[in-house]
């Protein structure tokens, strides 16, 4: 089992450009999450999904969109990147809401 | 909104010394989880505490959940260089949003 994988690992964008981060899990988990990690601020939830075809907003959803067309995949989109979106993005999945979360290796995004 | 504060932000210890990190929530939690993130890595689940006053041990690590379910601690006895990393608590509120809110983390450095 690969667990949770993320692509790409690194990306540099210019302000205003768009991109999609892909998260895939092979554990048949219902729940999937996107977090961003900034120095001194821990992990903040951007969006999450409780199952295929469903998405919901987390703490910091502005500027991001998500889609969960297939159970194993959770996409995070930035329509018009801003320097404030420079961060490390982690995807995670879990069997249910009260179980532990399994994290992917992260994507380091820089917006110039 | 819910906040989970963690102290200290940084801790440097000599190898063999003990280490403790504390987590405090502004609201009563239904459960709390602890994660470890090695430098350059992703968060990895350590444990979950559910009951008021619960204490769990994993070898040299001792986890406690407060009686009021608003605070928690992680204590490492006789630190080793393999303990280096950032330790995060993550709590789920009993009311309101059912998401996991991560603390800001404590970065542990162990000096050989």
The pLDDT value given to residue B1: 61
pLDDT at B2 over 90: no
Q: How confident is the model at residue A7 (pLDDT cuts 50, 70, 90)?
A: very high
Report the residue of chain A nearest B98, measured CA to CA: A97
- Contacts for B21 with CB less than 8 Å, ≥ 6 apart: B6, B7, B8, B11, B73, B74, B87, B89, B106, B108
Chain A residues within an 8 Å CB radius of B42 = 90, 103-106
Is B10 an 8 Å CB contact of chain A?
no
3-state SS assignment for residue B81: helix
Question: With contacts defined as CB-CB under 8 Å, which chain B residues touch A100?
Answer: 33, 45, 48
Q: How far apart are CA A18 and CA A5, in angstroms?
A: 21
Strands (E), chain B: 4-7, 10-14, 19-25, 29-37, 43-49, 55-58, 61-65, 71-76, 85-93, 100-102, 106-111
pLDDT tens, residue by residue, A85-95: 999 999 999 99
Task: Provide mean pLDDT across the span A56-63.
Answer: 95
> A102–B45: do the CB atoms touch at under 8 Å?
yes
Closest alpha carbon within chain A to B103 = A42
Whole-number pLDDT of residue B95: 73
Interchain contact, A42 vs B33, CB within 8 Å: no
Q: Please tell me which residue of chain A has the smallest CA distance to B31.
A: A98
Query: N- to C-terminal Cα distance for chain A?
Result: 36
For chain B, what is the mean pLDDT? Answer: 94
| Distance between CA atoms of residues B55 and A72, nearest Å | 35
State what percent of residues in chain B have pLDDT above 90: 87
Contact between A90 and A102 (Cβ < 8 Å): no
Coil, strand or helix: which one is B88? strand
Q: What is the pLDDT of residues B45-73, one digit of tens each?
A: 999 999 999 999 999 999 999 999 999 99
Residue B30 has a pLDDT of 93
């Amino acid at each position: 089992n690969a667990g949770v994988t993320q692509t790409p690992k690194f990306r540099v964008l210019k302000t205003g450009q768009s991109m999609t981060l892909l998260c895939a899990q092979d554990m048949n988990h219902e729940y999937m999450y996107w977090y961003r990690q900034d120095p001194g601020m821990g992990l903040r939830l951007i969006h999450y999904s409780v199952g295929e075809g469903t998405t919901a907003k987390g703490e910091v959803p502005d500027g991001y969109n998500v889609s969960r067309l297939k159970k194993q995949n959770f996409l995070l989109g930035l329509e018009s990147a801003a320097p404030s979106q420079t961060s490390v993005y982690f995807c995670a999945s879990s069997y249910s809401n009260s179980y532990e979360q399994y994290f992917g290796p992260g994507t380091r995004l820089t917006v110039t | 909104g819910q906040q989970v504060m963690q102290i200290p932000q940084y801790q440097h210890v000599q190898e063999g010394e003990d280490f403790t990190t504390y987590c405090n929530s502004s609201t009563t939690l239904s459960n709390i989880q602890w994660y470890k993130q090695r430098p350059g890595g992703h968060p990895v689940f350590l444990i979950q505490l559910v009951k008021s006053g619960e204490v769990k041990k994993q070898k040299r690590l001792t986890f406690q959940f407060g009686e009021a379910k608003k605070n928690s601690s992680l204590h490492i006895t006789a630190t080793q260089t393999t303990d280096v990393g950032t330790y995060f608590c993550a709590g789920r509120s009993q009311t309101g949003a059912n998401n996991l809110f991560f603390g800001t983390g404590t970065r542990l450095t162990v000096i050989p």
